[in-house]
Structure 1
Amino acid sequence: MKQLGWFLALLWFQVALTSAQAGDPELVAGQKLLEEGRTTLADKVLNDARASLLQLTQKNPGNAVYFYELARVDYYRCNAADVRGDKKAAETTLDQALSDAQQSLKLDERSAIAHSLLADVYGRRIGLGRGFMLGARLGPKVVVENKRAQELDGNNPRVLASLGRQYLHAPKMFGGDLDKAVASFQKSLQLDPSNDETYVWLGVTYRKKGDEAAANRALDEALRLNPRSGFAQSTKAGKTVASGR
């Protein structure tokens, strides 16, 4: 019964979002570019997506959704730069993602997914940096943002996926727990079974646990959902992965 309630809530959210987007063709165009960019991590596509969404924030500086989507673009631009080995560009674009996400929350503090995105940005910054002190400084911020996201909408699949990444990446002494990561990703996928990236993260977690068979099943499902996903392809091949979202 509880799962039915979660499903109906998600369905309502998707219907409401679709209705809102139907009246905002410029946002839809930017999101389509973002979807293509996050799949391929192609610089040109991501830059085009950023230009499109940046223009929307400039025209409508009070719209939190525009800044949220812009933050997502910059997050993937960071991943693309990291993949090609340009750490300086990765750090610069991640700083832009941080600024975008913070602005989105200034406009709408009650956005659970914006808090989750900010948690992922902090976590990504830890991954790009070096040294214990960076993790000690930013790790608590990841926890705070994910906690607030759960308070606002604990059954949102993006919130649950971000929580899973927190459990996956945190050292055990600071709350890292692979079993909790698996549970968070699985719950997220129960609510949104079409999210290929969450299947990749589930596969990454199983691989870290030493369960290669389960990892391959999750990665195969990610590739079934999105055969062009560079994130899924590189992870399946056993290469170092960027922190997708």
Structure 2
Amino acid sequence: MLARISVALALAALLGPLTAAAQTPAEAARALVNRYHQDPANIDRAREALERALATDSQPDTMVMLSYVYFLVGDVRAQSTDDKLAAYDKGREIGKRAVELAPKNPEAHVWYGINTGRWGQTKGIMRSLFLLPTVREEIDATLALDPKNLRALALQGNVFFEVPRIAGGDREKAEAAFRKALEIDPHFTNARLDLARVLIASGRTADARRELQHILDEKSPQNVADWTVKDAPRARQLLESLKGK
């Protein structure tokens, strides 16, 4: 028995470095950003590693991950509006390249669309309506390839919620998109937070409170880092703003 245990430990010691070495740049970066709530600098480390990898080998998966990481740079690391715009712009540029190289990759489409939409949201919705056709095209392309893509459904909901009605805004459709995402994964707190925003805007305060409390009570968030850094703090802020209403 002791001999077998010794052999197993020896194999684990040998295979551990091999497994780590076998990680692609995209996989290594994802492992970093999955823990950005523990150390936000993980986002910077992931970005730097992916950019080094792309300098020698333009793999679509690396581009897709870098597009996602630039979204996180804009959302989490950037301190000024200009820095946010620069990060989202870089994310959409890389996302577009990924789409051109891998048009059947739903993640390429969704991160191109998300960065484009976030750039427009940050710049100002009315000043960015010219981007709306691109965002919608990327949502449609993503959902055609992956009908259960949570990020695409959340983006779809945000487009319906954020844009003016004259440009296709529709709160009922926004709510439907967020609820569809939550049917697929009830632990996707990003969609639940946005659903609460729609409910608040529609005057359904009690329903919004329930969704916000659900976020704070979540035990198994789909993305722990996003829940810790973005979703739970925002839910607390919104709950506080609803006091007395």
- Range of TM-score over shorter length: 0.7 to 0.9
Match of 1:231 in 2: 231
Q: Which residue of 1 aligns with 2:31?
A: 32
Provide the rounded CA distance (Å) in 2 between the counterparts of 1:108 and 1:153: 14
Q: Is the 8 A contact 1:41 1:79 kept in 2?
A: no
- Aligned with residue 132 of structure 2, among 123, 127, 139: 139
Unaligned runs of 5+ in 2: 1-19, 240-245
Q: Which residue in 2 is equivalent to 1:65?
A: 61
Question: Once the 2 structures are TM-superposed, how far is the Cα of residue 75 of structure 1 from its aligned partner?
Answer: 0.7
Q: Which has the higher contact order (CA 8 A, sep 6+)?
A: 1
AA aligned opposite 1:78: G
User: Hey, what does 1:6 align to over in structure 2?
Assistant: none
1:80 is the counterpart of 2:79:
no
Instruction: Provide Cα deviations, 1:103-140, integer angstroms capped at 9, x if missing partner.
Output: 211211112232222222222122121473x3231122
Structure-1 residue corresponding to 2:114? 120
Pair 1:25–1:190, CA change in 2 (3 A): same
Residue in structure 1 matching 2:195, options 174, 192, 202 = 202
Q: Is structure 2 residue 50 aligned with structure 1 residue 49? A: no
- Sort the Cα spacing of 1:25 and 1:125 in 2 relative to 1 into closer, same or farther, 3 A: closer
Q: Give the residue type in structure 2 aligned to 1:47.
A: D
Note the alpha carbon deviations across 1:199-238, whole angstroms, 9 max, x for none. Answer: 2222222222222222232233333234623333124313
Q: Distance in 2 between matches of 1:107 and 1:92?
A: 23
Query: C-alpha distance in 2, partners of 1:211/1:32?
Result: 39
Instruction: Please state how far the C-alpha of 1:22 moved relative to its aligned partner.
Output: 11
Residues 191 and 173 of structure 1, relative CA distance in 2, 3 Å threshold: same
Aligned pairs (5 A) from 1:96-107? 96-107=90-101
What is the distance in 1 between the residues matched to 2:171 and 2:21? Answer: 40
Kindly tell me the number of residue pairs found equivalent between the two proteins: 213
SS in 2 for 1:36: coil
RMSD (CA atoms): 2.6
CA distance in 2, matches of 1:123, 1:176: 14
Relative to structure 1, the CA distance from residue 41 to residue 192 in structure 2 (aligned partners, 3 Å threshold; closer, same or farther) is: farther
Distance, in Å, in 1 between the alignment partners of 2:63 and 2:196 is 30
Distance 2:157 2:197 in 1: 11
Quote the Cα distance in structure 2 between the aligned partners of 1:35 and 1:237. 24
Q: 2: distance between equivalents of 1:109 and 1:47?
A: 27
Q: Sort the Cα spacing of 1:102 and 1:48 in 2 relative to 1 into closer, same or farther, 3 A.
A: same
The answer on whether the counterparts of 2:106 and 2:141 sit within 8 Å (CA) in structure 1 is: yes
Which residue of 2 is the match for residue 8 of structure 1? none
**Gap runs ≥5 in structure 1:** 1-20, 240-245
Greater Rg by CA = 2
> CA contact under 8 A between 2:139 and 2:152: conserved in structure 1?
yes
- The TM-score with structure 1 as length reference comes to 0.76
